[in-house]
Chains A and B, each alone.
Chain A
Amino acid sequence: MGPTEGFDSSDSHLLTVESGITMDTPAISVRGLRKSYGATEVLHGIDFDVHPGEVFGLLGPNGAGKTTTIEILEGYRERTAGAVSVFGADPGRPTRAWREQIGLVLQECEFDPLLTVVETLSLFSAFYRSPRPVDECVDLVGLGDRRNDRVGTLSGGQRRRLDVAVGLIGDPRLLFLDEPTTGFDPSARRGAWNMIEGLRTLGTTIFLTTHYMDEAQHLADRLAILRDGEVVALGAPDELVAGGMAETLVSFRLARPGEVDVMRPAVHGRLESSNGTVRLRTDDPQRTLYELTSWAEREHVELDGLEATRPTLESVFLELTGGNGG
């Protein structure tokens, strides 16, 4: 199955049944979504569903349309065409009752720097009919030791955690996270991931955008890869890796670089070499490894540091997005 297949609704339903969740109405349903700014169309008709209780990742290079998509779902932007529903309602006409169920963590967001963490959360909790307790939100994001400090004195990572705490204050059924860990150091990202996984266990549906492959692979139950305003792949991360066209990489070093030319006709795969380091890209790793090791045995050649690397989500992503990750 090619990577561009497998995002029709029937396939999505199959996944829902497999993961044991009742076949409810999807939390989010997007069909033929288009968005133009002036004469420029930035979303060219995209489709996907997000099921209740799952973590759905929207992955793509900068400028692919991630923020435009999430802001349409959040009720900030009007769409140009297509059908969009979030909890059965049109986010283009956000109502108060609808907003009660939605939590937001925007890509760039600031709160009043002169209020404390607790004051900020108390103010936002007043907006909701049944908010999550302020103390619980503080603890969920691990800001307990800064609770009475002014927002203006928090570090960048702590402010991001406050963003998440405010996103959770309404006890939302669905949380939007727009690039939640951009600018985090590795340990802060790990902490954020643990927090998001914790939310999933609480039953919150999470819609996440990111341009970090490892983040998507680690967190998302399913993801859509967006390129130039089109969904180019949709499915579980493992499915995308397995079903993708990305090739396994076999690498090793040869003591005598000249042997590469002798080896070339005997082994399946695309071969490149420099200074004795050989890289073989293959769509059939079993055959390639068999032919390679047979050849080496026959010719008494040592394959130093032999290694086969399965394709990762990153290699799938780079292949689908034309190698332009930035």
Chain B
Amino acid sequence: MADVRLAATQSRYALLTALRTPRTVVFGMAFPVVLLVMFNSIFTGGAADSVTFAGGTITASAYFTASLSAYAIGLSTFTSLAIGLTAQRETGQLKRLRGTPMPAWTFVAGQVMRSAMLALIVVLAMLATGVIFFGVDVAPERLVGFAVYFALGAVAFSALGIAMTALTPTVDSASAAGPFIVVMLAFVSGVFISVDQLPDWLEAVGKAFPLYHLAEGLQTCLVSGTGGTGLAAGNVASLVVWGLAGVVIATRRFRWEPQAARS
């Protein structure tokens, strides 16, 4: 129990650091909300005001609110952890932490909690923006499904972000790969462009990766008036499998000591 509190303490300080990092606040938090406002002001309206996808048919505003929430979760967890942990490793901060009695899992749990909290702040801002300014309808019975997808997505993308640090020997490589992967996937996952406008082969590429399924899941939960939780086995399975893959790689390949400049 004391160790759960220790994990929470670490998440609090990690959140403090994140909120003091301009890159995280601007790129990870403000940027998705700005994108949402721009998308809903530019692309929606007129004839193409609704999107039909696997989860049903919703307004373009609701579709992009869910899409960009998925994007924001990817940035706050995967990208932010890949860069942040690589930086902490390469500057020797992780090595120093390893020399304390702090159990390793409390550190990792703290990092995941901090990422989930960052993502939660942005997603709540997204939903509020969608509901207040763009007439997005959130059905209460589907909020549970939305929360489940959020939690699965936050944990899976956090695990993948931690696993990613095994492939990034320097902060430079993490800063390049972290955002690039999420942005590239966003194009083929129905985040920036709705899936009904994607060529089949690109959609097939997108479906192989978890961002597609997180977006589709959140989008489905914003389809109102159809009842049910909006949870679909395919989407849940993709997030679980990718999340577990992340956990396996992270536990085997995570390093506490600097990799780039080994003495």
Instruction: Chain A residues near B27: list those with CB within 8 A.
Output: none
A112/B17 contact (C-beta < 8 A), A104-B96, A123-B9 known: yes
How far is A13 from B96 in the complex, measured between Cα atoms in Å?
34
Asked if A127 and B101 make an inter-chain contact with CB atoms under 8 angstroms apart, the answer reads yes
Digit string of A40-53 for contact with B (CB within 8 Å is 1, else 0)?
Answer: 00000000000000
Verify A106–B95 contact, CB threshold 8 A.
Answer: yes
User: Is B16 an interface residue, CB under 8 A from the partner?
Assistant: yes
Q: Considering residues A74, A108, A127, A166, which has the most beta carbons from chain B within 10 angstroms of its beta carbon?
A: A127
Q: Which residues of B contact A114 (CB under 8 A)?
A: 16-17, 20-21
Contacts of A67 on B, CB cut-off 8 Å? 263
A110 to B10, CA, bound (A): 17
Interface membership of B100, Cβ < 8 A: yes
Q: How far is the CA of A184 from the CA of B138 in the complex (A)?
A: 61
Would you give the shortest CB distance from B193 to chain A, in whole angstroms? 36
C-alpha gap A100/B16 in the complex (Å): 26
> How many whole Å from A98's CB to the nearest CB in chain B?
8
Closest to A122 in B: B13
Contacts of A128 on B, CB cut-off 8 Å?
100-101
Q: Give Cα A110 to B91, complex, Å.
A: 6
- Which chain B residues (84-132) contact chain A, with CB distance < 8 Å? 88, 91-93, 95-96, 98-103
B152 close to chain A: CB less than 8 A: no
Q: Verify if B6 is at the interface (C-beta below 8 Å from A).
A: yes
**Complex Cα gap A96–B21 (Å):** 32
- Name the residue on B nearest A104 (C-beta): B99
A75 located at the interface, meaning its Cβ lies under 8 Å from any Cβ of chain B in the complex: yes
Residues of A81-132 whose CB lies within 8 A of B: 96-97, 99-100, 102, 104, 106, 108-112, 114-115, 119, 123-124, 126-129
Contact B99 A96 (CB under 8 A): no
- Whole-angstrom CA separation of A102 from B101 in the bound complex: 9
- Are B17 and A99 touching (Cβ within 8 A)? no
In the complex, how many angstroms separate the beta carbon of B158 from the nearest chain A beta carbon?
A: 19
Interface presence of A290 (CB below 8 A): no
Write the B10-50 contact mask toward A (1 if CB under 8 angstroms, else 0).
10010011001100000000000000000000000000000
Q: Which residues of A contact B96 (CB under 8 A)?
A: 104, 106, 109-111, 166
- Asked if A170 is an interface residue, CB under 8 A from chain B, the answer is yes
Q: How far is the CA of A75 from the CA of B237 in the complex (A)?
A: 41
Closest to B258 in A: A108
Identify which of A106, A126, A170 contacts B6 (C-beta below 8 A): A126
In the assembled complex, the Cα of A235 lies from the Cα of B95 at a distance in Å of 32
- Rounded to whole angstroms, the CA-CA distance of A106 and B100 in the bound complex is 12
User: What's the least CB distance linking A221 to chain B, in Å?
Assistant: 25
Does B13 contact A119, Cβ atoms closer than 8 Å? yes
Nearest-Cβ distance from residue A127 to partner chain B, whole angstroms: 4
Q: Is the Cβ of B100 less than 8 Å from the Cβ of A115?
A: no
CB of A170 within 8 A of CB of B13, answer no
Interchain CA distance A166-B102 in the complex, whole Å: 14
Contact residues in B for A126 (Cβ distance below 8 Å): 6, 9-10, 102
Within 8 A of B (CB), among A114-157: 114-115, 119, 123-124, 126-129
A99 contacts B99, C-beta separation under 8 Å:
yes
User: Which B residues touch A75, using CB under 8 A?
Assistant: 99
Q: How far is the CA of A170 from the CA of B101 in the complex (A)?
A: 9
Q: Which residue on chain B has the smallest CB distance to residue A67? A: B263
* Given the contacts A111-B93, A114-B17, A115-B16, A170 and B99 also touching, CB distance less than 8 Å: no
- Distance of A18 from chain B, by nearest CB (Å): 34
Q: Which residues of A contact B20 (CB under 8 A)?
A: 114
The contact of B92 among A99, A109, A166, by CB within 8 Å, is A109
| CB atoms of B99 and A123 under 8 A apart | no
**CB-defined interface of B60-88 with A at 8 Å, one 1/0 digit per residue?**
00000000000000000000000000001
Contact check, B99 vs A112: say whether CB atoms are below 8 A apart.
no
CA distance A123 to B96 in the complex (A): 13
Contact present for B93 and A106 (CB under 8 Å) = no
With A99-B100, A108-B92 given, name 17 new contacts (CB 8 A): A75-B99, A76-B99, A96-B103, A102-B99, A109-B92, A109-B96, A110-B91, A111-B93, A111-B96, A112-B88, A112-B93, A123-B9, A126-B6, A126-B9, A126-B10, A127-B100, A170-B100
Q: Offer 20 A-B interface pairs, CB within 8 angstroms, sorted by A.
A: A74-B99, A75-B99, A76-B99, A96-B103, A97-B101, A99-B99, A100-B101, A109-B95, A111-B96, A112-B17, A112-B88, A114-B17, A114-B21, A115-B16, A123-B9, A123-B10, A126-B102, A127-B100, A128-B101, A166-B96
Q: Which B residues lie at the A interface, using CB under 8 A?
A: 6, 9-10, 13, 16-17, 20-21, 88, 91-93, 95-96, 98-103, 257, 263
